Amino acid sequence: MNRIAFVCGITMFLVIFNAAVVAEESGQASDQKCDGIVYEAKEVSRLAKITFKPPPAYTSEARVKNVRGRVVLTAVLCRSGHVTDIQVIESLPSGLTEKAIEAARGIKFKPAEKDGSPVSQTTQLEFRFSIGGPGPPGRRPLAKEPIEGRMVESVAVVGVICRSSEEIWRHIKTRTTYSYRKERVNRDLEALLALGYFDSKQSSLRIEEGEKGGVGVVFILKELPQIAPCDK
């Protein structure tokens, strides 16, 4: 009887072990929690550096329904080299949120450092979906009056090279599905300029026509020369 129990125990262990290996090889390991302390960007001495960010795939259903927009995620760039603790902040229908999560799992990066040692760092990730390809923001026509009160369809930031997206988005309060408020958007730009990273004379706002009757808000930022050089 003891021998039978021992064999059953060994068999169960092998089944669980093999399942864990398969899950890790298929990319599911990125759904796990990151062990140990996780730092915010402002707490590390050297930010994590993303070296490869795969573009998300478009689903057939999304193409048929002409779904566009962005998916925003928070995640941990774990010191182990895996993207973990993925949480959805802004989603899209027709399977695009799942495609964004799948792309996030494929991100390659160099872990952040604190006091010379690799550490885990939180980050915010944004994936944009557009039928005609990603394309840079700022290419749609300028919004025509009346603008105030129209739905915000998209929010984009261009011109940022050296600063982390998490640090920038923390100061932007305008969100998609909000009603456009000129005062709020101007406060967002002022908050970004107050960071001291950007040229106030060359940074601006662009309010574009949306695709569904709303507007797109684009923060066009020009980094100050003293901020560069940075790791590319």
- Residue 169 sits at the vertex; the CA angle it makes with 167 and 171, to the nearest 5 degrees, is 85
3-state secondary structure 46-59: ECCEEEECCCCCCC
Determine contact, residues 147/118, Cβ cutoff 8 Å. Answer: no
Question: Given this structure, which CATH class describes domain 136-232?
Answer: alpha beta
Residue by residue, pLDDT tens for the chain (232 residues) are 455 555 445 444 444 444 343 333 333 334 689 999 999 999 999 999 988 888 788 787 887 777 888 899 999 999 999 999 999 999 999 999 999 999 899 999 999 999 999 999 999 999 888 654 334 444 678 999 999 999 998 888 877 666 666 678 788 898 877 899 999 999 999 999 999 989 999 999 999 998 889 999 988 888 887 544 454 4
Phi, psi of 181, deg, nearest 5: -130, 115
pLDDT score of 4: 53
Beta pairing class for 117-129 and 38-39: parallel
pLDDT score of 9: 53
pLDDT score of 77: 96
pLDDT score of 23: 37
Q: How far apart are CA 200 and CA 168, in angstroms?
A: 15
| CATH (one of 3.30.2420.10, 3.30.70.20, 3.30.450.30, 2.40.50.140) for 30-134 | 3.30.2420.10
- Residue 154 sits at the vertex; the CA angle it makes with 206 and 144, to the nearest 5 degrees, is 45
pLDDT score of 3: 59
Which residues, in sequence order, are bridge partners of residue 183? none
Which residues, in sequence order, are bridge partners of residue 181? none
pTM above 0.75, yes or no: no
Span(s) in the chain for CATH 3.30.2420.10:
30-134
Peptide bond into 225 cis (omega under 30): no
pLDDT score of 161: 61
Q: How far apart are CA 170 and CA 118, in angstroms?
A: 24
Q: How far apart are CA 84 and CA 222, in angstroms?
A: 32
Q: If you search the block for the tokens 């106030």, which residue do you land on?
A: 200
Span(s) in the chain for CATH 3.10.20.310:
136-232
